Amino acid sequence: MRCCWTSSKDEQLQEKRHGDKQGAAECGDCNTCGKCGSLECPEGVTLYTMIIYSENFAGILNQITAVFTRRQVNIETLNVCASSTPGVHKYTITCYCTEEMAIMLTKQIEKKIDVLQANYFTDDELFILEACLLKLSTPIVLENDNVGKIIRKHGARIVEVNPTYTIVEKKGDTEEILKLYRSLNHLDVVLQFVRSGRIAVTKSLVETLDKYLEERMKEK
């Protein structure tokens, strides 16, 4: 899963020693990791967000991710948490695929016994939030005034400072986070960069899970 990317100066030096063996294709296939700085989807596919609700039993996550593995679809980000309904967990998964594949994935996931509901969405159907942490070199931060200007411009905040490193936190959508990363990376100040999985709520006025649970209660 390529939900985040972490780099260090040592890793960058190793890459320089061994040459750029990675190549554009390997770097670009993650699309949103920040390393290649691309926000474009691979040709012919769309970034879909799958929102899945299941009962809270051990092993459900393995069953869900196995569906993606069997279809050879790579999971970009994954977030699991308790939902507002007691005993029900929410899985937020993003992946690049065609709409036909998104339909197939959600149908296969819904066949799992303990899964209550699975739906897929495009970005314009959701309110989306991600978070990131950047570890910056404090000496470079102090030497280069542009670092502080970029942090303020992008609405990020400094959460820790010591003589060796500075930690910066940023919340927003994927594009905002990657713009901040690219701006700072150009100044050769970034020691590490990591992104969270996506969290999302639908813009729909109808809560599909509540409706599903109400219908199931009526059937009983």
Average pLDDT over residues 55-76: 92
* pLDDT at residue 56, rounded to an integer: 86
Beta bridge partners of 131: 171
Average pLDDT over residues 114-123: 92
Helix (H) or strand (E) holding 123: none
Average pLDDT over residues 31-37: 44
Q: Is 11 exposed, middle or buried (0-12, 13-18, 19+ CB in 10 A)?
A: exposed
Confidence of residue 102 (pLDDT cuts 50, 70, 90): very high
Task: Tell me the C-alpha distance between 110 and 63, whole Å.
Answer: 11
* pLDDT at residue 23, rounded to an integer: 37
* pLDDT at residue 7, rounded to an integer: 41
Residue 177 in contact with residue 170, Cβ under 8 Å?
yes
* pLDDT at residue 40, rounded to an integer: 55
How open is the CA angle 26-28-32, to the nearest 5 degrees?
Answer: 130
Give the total residue count for the chain.
Answer: 220
Task: Tell me the C-alpha distance between 77 and 19, whole Å.
Answer: 29
* pLDDT at residue 162, rounded to an integer: 96
Confidence of residue 113 (pLDDT cuts 50, 70, 90): confident
Task: Tell me the C-alpha distance between 31 and 38, whole Å.
Answer: 5
Q: Which CATH architecture has domain 128-199?
A: 2-Layer Sandwich (3.30)
* pLDDT at residue 180, rounded to an integer: 96
- Superfamily of domain covering 46-121: ACT domain (3.30.70.260)
* pLDDT at residue 17, rounded to an integer: 37
Confidence of residue 58 (pLDDT cuts 50, 70, 90): confident
Average pLDDT over residues 8-37: 41
* pLDDT at residue 204, rounded to an integer: 83
Rounded to the nearest 10 degrees, how much is the dihedral formed by the CA atoms of 122, 128, 134, 140? 90
Average pLDDT over residues 120-130: 93
How open is the CA angle 26-30-33, to the nearest 5 degrees?
Answer: 120
Buried/exposed code over 175-200 (b: 16+ C-beta within 10 A; e: otherwise): ebbbbbbebbbebebbbbbebbbbbb
* Residue of 86 and 49 predicted with greater confidence: 49
Query: Does residue 85 register a pLDDT over 90?
Result: no
CATH 3.30.70.1150 segments of the chain: 128-199
Confidence of residue 98 (pLDDT cuts 50, 70, 90): very high
* pLDDT at residue 220, rounded to an integer: 62
pTM for the model stands at 0.71
Residue 132 in contact with residue 181, Cβ under 8 Å?
yes
CATH 3.30.70.260 segments of the chain: 46-121
Query: Does residue 139 register a pLDDT over 50?
Result: yes
Task: Tell me the C-alpha distance between 52 and 48, whole Å.
Answer: 13
**What residue type is assigned to position 7 of the chain?**
S
